Chains A and B, each alone.
Chain A
Amino acid sequence: MPLARTQLESLLRTRRLDRTLTTALPGAGLDPNGGRDFAPTGIARLDALVGGGLPRGQMSELVGPRSSGRTSLTLQMLASATVRGELVALVDALDMLDVESAAAAGIDLDRLLWVRGHVVSNPGLCRDMNQRALEQAIRALALILQAGTFGLVVFDVAEAPPDAVRRLPFTTWLRLQRMVEGSQTICVLVGSEPMARSSAGLTLRTGIRDWGLGMRFGNRLFEGLNVQTRVVRARARVQEDATVALTTVATNCA
Chain B
Amino acid sequence: MPDRYAALYKPPQEIEGSAGLSGPRSGGPERAALQTIAGDFSPRYELHGDDLVSIDVSGLERLLKVREGCPARTIGEELRRGAHSRSVRAHVAVAGTRTAAVVLALARPGVTIVERGEEAAALADVPIGILSSLKSQVSSLNSMLETSDFKLETFSRWGLKTLGELAALPDADLVARLGPSARVWQAIARGEDIRPLVPTLAEERFDASIELEWPIDSLEPLSFVLTRLLEPLSTRLERRDRGAAVLHVLLGLVTRESHARRLELPAPIRDVRTLRTLALLDLEAHPPPAAIDRVTIVIDPTPGRVLQHALFTRAHPTPEQLSTLLARLGALMGQDRFGAPAVVDSYRPGAFAMVPFATNHYETTIERRARKARRENQVENSASSASSAVNVVSAVRRCRHPVPARVAVVGGRPVRVTTDRRGFAGGTVLRCVGPWRSSGHWWAGRAGQAGQAGRENSDNPNAPLQPIQPIPPILPWDRDDWDVSLNDGAVYRVFRDRETDAWFIDAIVD
Q: Mark A residues whose CB is within 8 Å of B.
A: 42-46, 65-76, 79-80, 83-87, 95-106, 108-119, 121-125, 136, 139-140, 143-144, 147-151, 158-159, 161, 208, 215, 217-222, 224-226, 245-251, 254
Known: A44-B383, A116-B338, A222-B491. 6 other contacts (CB 8 A): A76-B392, A83-B378, A140-B332, A215-B485, A225-B491, A245-B389
Give me 23 A-to-B residue pairs in the complex whose CB atoms sit less than 8 angstroms apart, sorted by A's number.
A42-B378, A42-B382, A66-B490, A66-B508, A69-B510, A71-B396, A72-B393, A72-B394, A72-B510, A73-B392, A80-B378, A83-B378, A85-B368, A87-B317, A97-B341, A99-B341, A115-B338, A117-B337, A125-B422, A147-B325, A161-B422, A217-B485, A225-B491
Contacts of B382 in A (CB 8 A): 42-44
Q: State whether B393 touches A115 (Cβ < 8 A).
A: no
Q: Confirm or deny: B85 has a beta carbon within 8 angstroms of a beta carbon on chain A.
A: no
Residues of B within 8 A of A102 (CB): 341, 395
Q: Is the interface of B mostly helix, strand, loop or mixed?
A: mixed
Q: Give the residue of A95, A118, A217 whose beta carbon is less than 8 angstroms from that of B433.
A: A217
* Residue pair B395, A75 in contact (C-beta under 8 Å): yes
Residues of A within 8 A of B385 (CB): 43-44
**Chain B residues in contact with chain A, CB under 8 A?**
313-314, 316-317, 321-322, 324-325, 328-329, 332-333, 337-343, 350, 352, 354, 357-358, 361, 363, 368, 371, 374-375, 378, 382-383, 385-386, 389-401, 421-423, 431-433, 467-470, 483, 485, 489-491, 507-510
SS of A interface (majority):
mixed
Bound: A71/B328 CA distance, A:
27
Query: In the complex, A100 Cα to B353 Cα: how many Å?
Result: 11
Q: Does the CB pair B397–A71 fall under 8 Å?
A: yes
- Which B residues are CB-close (under 8 A) to A217? 431-433, 483, 485
Contact B483 A222 (CB under 8 A): yes
Determine whether the beta carbon of B398 is less than 8 Å from that of A114. no
**Contact at B333–A115, with CB atoms within 8 Å?**
yes
A213 to B389, CA, bound (A): 14
Cβ-defined partner of B316 (8 Å) among A66, A87, A159, A224: A87
Are A159 and B470 also in contact (CB < 8 A) when A67-B510, A105-B393, A105-B395 are? no
Residues on B with C-beta less than 8 A from A123 are 422
Which residue of chain B lies nearest to A115 when distances are taken between CB atoms in the complex? Answer: B338
CA of A105 to CA of B322, assembled, Å: 25
A145 CB, min distance to chain B CBs, angstroms? 10
How far, in Å, is B384 (CB) from chain A's closest CB?
9
B482, closest chain A residue (CB) = A222
For B332, give its contact among A139, A151, A245, A248 (CB under 8 Å): A139
Chain B CB within 10 A, most for which of A68, A72, A98: A98
In the complex, which residues of chain A have a beta carbon less than 8 angstroms from the beta carbon of B386?
44-45
Closest approach, in angstroms, between the C-beta of B54 and any C-beta of chain A? 50
Docked pose: A115 CA to B339 CA in angstroms: 7
**C-alpha spacing A218/B469, complex, angstroms:** 35
Residue of A with least CB distance to B374: A83
- Known interface pairs A220-B433, A247-B389. Does A106 touch B357 (Cβ–Cβ under 8 Å)? no
- Complex-state Cα separation, A221 to B374, whole angstroms: 28
Is A249 in contact with B393, judged by CB distance below 8 angstroms? yes
A168 to B78, CA, bound (A): 81
Contact status B396-A101, CB under 8 Å: yes
- Cβ of B375 and Cβ of A75 under 8 Å apart? no
* Cα distance, A105 to B325, chains bound together (Å): 27
Measured between C-beta atoms, what is the minimum distance from B284 to chain A in Å?
Answer: 14
Is A85 in contact with B371, judged by CB distance below 8 angstroms?
yes
Q: For the complex, what is the distance from the CA of A101 to the CA of B507, rounded to whole Å?
A: 11
> With A75-B393, A158-B397 as given contacts, are A65 and B340 in contact (CB-CB < 8 Å)?
no
A110: chain B residues within 8 A (beta carbon): 340, 358, 361
Chain A minimum-CB-distance residue to B396: A98
A147 to B389, CA, bound (A): 38
What residues on B are CB-neighbors of A117 within 8 Å? 333, 337
* Pairwise interchain contact A67-B338, C-beta atoms closer than 8 A: no
* Contact in complex: A222, B433 (CB < 8 Å): yes
A109 to B321, CA, bound (A): 20
B335: min CB distance to chain A, Å = 12
Bound CA span A13–B345, Å: 58
Rounded to whole angstroms, the CA-CA distance of A116 and B352 in the bound complex is: 13
A85: shortest Cβ distance to chain B, in Å?
6
In whole angstroms, how far apart are the Cα atoms of A43 and B381 in the complex?
Answer: 9
- Chain B neighbourhood of A75, CB < 8 A: 392-393, 395
A109 near B341: Cβ-Cβ < 8 Å = yes
Q: How far is the CB of B317 from chain A (nearest CB, A)?
A: 3
Which residue, of B343, B394, B468, has the highest number of chain A Cβ atoms within 10 A?
B394
